[in-house]
Amino acid sequence: MSEQLELNKARYILRVADTELILGHRLSELCGHGPILEEDIAVANLALDCLGHANFLLELAGRFYSPALSADNLAYERLANQYFNVLLAELPNEDFAHLILKQLYLSIFLQLRYFSWASSSWKELAQISKKALTEVKYHVMHSKEWVLRLGDGTEESNQRMQQAIVNFEPYVADLFVDHAEDCIFKKQFNCALSSELISDWSKQVEDCLSSAKLSFSEPNSNYSYSSITGKHTEYLDYILADMQFLTRRYPGLSW
Amino acid sequence: MNDEEKKLWEVLELVEDPELPGISIVELGLIDGVFLQGGTVEVNFLPSYSGCPALQLIQDSIISVLKNHGYEKVLVNKIFEPGWSTDRISDSARIKLKEMGIAAPCGLLSEQLIQFPQKAKVPCPRCESLDTECKSNFGSTACKALFFCRNCLEPFEYFKTLN
């Protein structure tokens, strides 16, 4: 197997692994600060699920490096410009509405992505995805219920949700941009292209937002930021400074 | 199963779930197989929840308990097929869960619990009443949901059905 193909496999998996890792970190920031106790606990559990998925995917991706890297190496020893997550995951939790809307967008996206991997011929990825799907479906349910409560809630909660929709608009098209690896693995393992996920995603999101009395507009890729350039938002360095602090301060530490 | 493998299973039954003292990982169905392969004990371990924080600790415990019983070389393989499901939890574990105040998985999928919280039909582990309701799909750990018994007015946890 050529070295380039191995690296392509790693990058392909990392796009989802890093998204789950960074999303998990952002969700964990609510721990201790949730609006109500049940949500503090729920969001912490969602974060755990994201980290669990990231862990299995990072482990798999690490095997395609020579010498092989562990999930810890990848999570704690890369710099921001070596991450492949979608930009949306990095955006801060401005308020609960932003956190919930981001959950709606990303949990539906990840569900569609895992669904396509589960039925692909890439065995290890299919196995991890099947397991992830049993957990992600609760994320989707949780997000949809909260979007409904907040959108069809008070004037303030509706207004905050609407603001989140506006703020996230430039980052939505990024989820569906095909990178080179998408095309390679579509051919090799019949994994759906990122661009093939957009119609199911839009339908689910639009249905949910309109029942929640919120208005949604189609993402316009002409006015969007995209992770395909390899550049991240300024937020990622701050996230990593927090997340990687311990391993960077004490290299080689073990419990 | 030969005598050597029987012995290995008996040793694995000594490995407890870190969050459920008194319940072994074998009773929870977390072990798919254990065998001796050229001097190394290989244990096929099924992760329950992807994000369960106890997964690493359980794997470390498997290695240290086997080492304490004289098996120096141990390899734990994380396997995803067959996927772990709550169907694998033994009857003895279900009884122990009830004694701890945790309702055992009863086949109702969590989405049914959320959509019909009034019709949960999960028996209270303390008073056994069916007049219980699901308060939250997320409890103190990823695998448990939070319930309330309207009969004895006590909260309890439900081990969510996963299959």
Q: DSSP secondary structure string, chain B?
A: --HHHHHHHHHHTT-EETTEEEEETTTTT-EEEEEEETTEEEEEE--SSTT-TTHHHHHHHHHHHHHHTT---EEEEE--SSPP-GGGS-HHHHHHHHHTTEEPP-S-BHHHHHH-GGG--PPPTTT--S-EEEEES--SSTTEEEEEETTT--EEEEE-B--
Question: CA-CA distances (angstroms) from residue A85 to A19, A21, A82, A229?
Answer: 4, 8, 10, 12
ipTM of this complex: 0.84
Q: Give the per-residue pLDDT at A211.
A: 96
| Cβ of residue A142 closer than 8 Å to a chain B Cβ | yes
Give the Cα separation of A126 and A118 in Å (integer): 4
| Cβ of residue A60 closer than 8 Å to a chain B Cβ | no
Q: Give the per-residue pLDDT at A254.
A: 80
Give the Cα separation of A14 and A9 in Å (integer): 8
- Residues linked to residue B109 through DSSP beta bridges, in sequence order: B161
Q: What is the pLDDT of residues A62-87, one digit of tens each?
A: 999 989 999 999 999 999 999 999 99
Pair type for strands B74-78 and B40-45? parallel
| Cβ of residue A74 closer than 8 Å to a chain B Cβ | no
Q: How many residues does chain B have?
A: 163
Element (H, E) at A249: helix A245-249
- Residues linked to residue B136 through DSSP beta bridges, in sequence order: B146
pTM, to two decimals: 0.91
Which residue in the block uniquely carries the two structure tokens 């695998």? B143
Q: How far apart are the first and last CA of chain A?
A: 37
Give the Cα separation of A247 and B5 in Å (integer): 40
Best CA proximity match to B34, nearest among B1, B9, B7: B9
Lowest mean pLDDT, pick from A19-23, B91-95, B113-117: B113-117
Contact A45 B47 (CB under 8 A): no
Q: Give the per-residue pLDDT at B2.
A: 86
State mean pLDDT over B40-50: 93
Pick from B55, B146, B162: CB nearest A134: B162
Q: Give the per-residue pLDDT at B140.
A: 84
Lowest mean pLDDT, pick from A1-10, A99-108, B97-106: A1-10
- Which residues of chain B does A49 touch, with a Cβ-Cβ cutoff of 8 Å? 49-51, 142
Distance from CA of B10 to the nearest CA of A (A): 29
In single-letter form, the type of residue at position A21 comes to L
Contact A41 B138 (CB under 8 A): yes
State mean pLDDT over B147-156: 94
Interface of B with A in 81-140 (CB under 8 A): 81, 83, 110-111, 114, 135-140
Contact A141 B52 (CB under 8 A): no
State mean pLDDT over A111-131: 96
Task: For residue A221, name the pLDDT band (cuts at 50, 70, 90).
Answer: low
Helix (H, G, I), strand (E, B) or coil at A76: helix
Best CA proximity match to B84, nearest among B145, B9, B22, B17: B17
